[in-house]
Structure 1
Amino acid sequence: MTTRHELCLEEKINLIREKEQGLSHRELSEKFEISLGAVSNILKRKCEYTNDYETNCNKKLKRKLKDDLRQEINDNVYEWFVAQRAKNIPISGPILQEYAREIGKKLDHSNEFKASNGWLDRFRTRYNINFRIISGESRSIDEDTIIDWKSRLSNIIEDYDPHDVFNCDETALFYKLMPDKSLVVDKNDCKGGKKSKERYTVMLCTNWTGSEKLKPVVIGKANRPRCFKNIDIKKLPVLWCSNRNSWMTCKIFTECAGVAAKADDINVTALDAVYWIQNTWDAVTETTIRNTLYSN
Structure 2
Amino acid sequence: MAPKRQSTSSDDSSSKKRKVITMEVKYDVVKRSEKGETNTEIGRALGLSRMSVVTIVKDKERILKHVKDAALMKATVINMKQRSQSIVEMEKLLMIWLEDQNQQRVPVSLSVIQEKARELHEAVVKKNGEGRASGEFSASRGWFNCFKARANLHNVKLQGEAATADSEAAESFPSGLAEIIKDHGYTADQVFNVDETGLFWKRMPNRTYLSKEKSAPGHKAGKEQLTLLFGANASGDLKLKPLLVYLAENPMAFKGIFKSQLPVIWKSNKKAWVTLMVFENWFNDHFVPAVERYLSSKGLPFKVLLVLDNDPGHPSN
Question: Do these two structures clear the TM 0.5 threshold for a shared fold by scoring above it?
Answer: no
Q: How does the TM-score come out when normalised to structure 1?
A: 0.38
Q: Which has the larger radius of gyration?
A: 2
> Larger RCO: Structure 1 or Structure 2 (Cα < 8 Å, ≥ 6 residues apart)?
2
Q: How does the TM-score come out when normalised to structure 2?
A: 0.36
